[in-house]
Structure 1
């Protein structure tokens, strides 16, 4: 397979994808951000000692879950030794274990853990995605990298058409608001501020609406310190499920 150009305009082809399978096929070949390409591949070669015998995915990571999901969970970016290793969002690290344990408790996931891409885990009514699809150095993508990667998330949202977005952390919150604004959604100025438990309804093209729910990120610095507990995450996911199951409020 030919290599795609390292060109920041390349993700614009995302808009040509007719469905999620087509989108994912384009996404996994993207090499638009030289810094991210270099880092994800470096990590895949050097590896962590615990995973020294494994073959790392080391490519952009597609969204994962129900293709007709009414709920999307929006994170930050793949973890270097988690999704960048396994090829599936929030799979193979402790952040993912925390997230999927809660999803299982509230009836959105078939199992409480997500170990590898072929472990049989299924999600019902929910899809997990991120605004940046390659593992960034220090878990810190640049604003340019976020903008470059934005079309992938934008097209995914257009295809899935979720009613609710559970947004993990302030970066994901700002990135999602930017993506929605770029799609023609009515994002107010000043923009709604991120907070755990924040709830904002936005109106968009075609009379659509979406509810954004803020949640602290499932990173270890939050879960190990008790800033985010399982009951707190359960509560946000249960609220998302309630909103998604309610009759949709359509703008006129």
Structure 2
């Protein structure tokens, strides 16, 4: 049996709808990344990761353009600001992959690696990408905490390890334990740091900073 890699190939063919949308984006903007976006790793690579942040999927003009998770869109403005305040990143975030920003003990990935139309992957697409998510998690030997941004990523992580979604329901600032290959890993979740959630005040900067701060304490 062939082992599933932790990163999808840039030209991943598994989801026809996402492939078509990705190719349409490439026709419109050939200079963009336009592929399955790889995880953003810290200095030190997999062994250094103690916190894994799992988002939903690349944004069309964000990570699909830049090739780095949460880079170039509103959600990234809030995420990287909070990580810098918590000491989980260093340098300057300037909305581009060569801005010199470094993650500290933290990796950022997505439940779905390719950009979906209207930022809404369908269930089959989440399922197709789940083996990459599971493999990514299993590749991190010193992982202590997973932070899921939004319900889709929360449920994807649970299903990756045979957990019942109903037994650990999504909510903002939830805190569970899951078994990851005979290791206990903390599973925290937050409302997604999207423009919609922040503009409607469902999620405030203070609320998000608090959850990121708890993750930093977990990994201190």
| Structures share fold, TM-score greater than 0.5 | yes
Question: Once the 2 structures are TM-superposed, how far is the Cα of residue 32 of structure 1 from its aligned partner?
Answer: 1.5
Residue equivalent to 2:219: 244
Question: Once the 2 structures are TM-superposed, how far is the Cα of residue 180 of structure 1 from its aligned partner?
Answer: 2.2
Q: 1:204 aligns with which of 155, 180, 185?
A: 180
The count of aligned residue pairs is: 215
Question: Once the 2 structures are TM-superposed, how far is the Cα of residue 226 of structure 1 from its aligned partner?
Answer: 2.1
Residue equivalent to 2:53: 73
The answer to whether 1:216 aligns with 2:216 is no
Offset from partner CA, 1:130-157 (integer Å, 9 cap, x none): 1100000111111111111111111111
The answer to which structure has the higher strand fraction is: 2
Unaligned runs of 5+ in 2: none
Q: 2:10 aligns with which of 8, 18, 28?
A: 28
Pairwise CA RMSD of aligned residues? 1.8
Quick check: 1:102–1:112 contact (8 Å CA) kept in 2? no
In 2: Cα distance, 1:29 partner to 1:95 partner: 25
Residue equivalent to 1:231: 206
| Distance change (3 Å), C-alpha of 1:190 and 1:226 | closer
Question: Once the 2 structures are TM-superposed, how far is the Cα of residue 114 of structure 1 from its aligned partner?
Answer: 4.5
Residue equivalent to 1:5: none
Quick check: 2:138–2:181 contact (8 Å CA) kept in 1? no
In 1: Cα distance, 2:175 partner to 2:156 partner: 16
The 5 A counterparts of 1:111-190 are 111=91, 113-161=93-141, 162-181=143-162, 187-188=163-164, 190=166
In 2: Cα distance, 1:86 partner to 1:79 partner: 10
In 1: Cα distance, 2:124 partner to 2:94 partner: 31
Unaligned runs of 5+ in 1: 1-11, 18-22, 48-53, 182-186, 246-252
Larger radius of gyration: 1
| Distance change (3 Å), C-alpha of 1:189 and 1:102 | closer
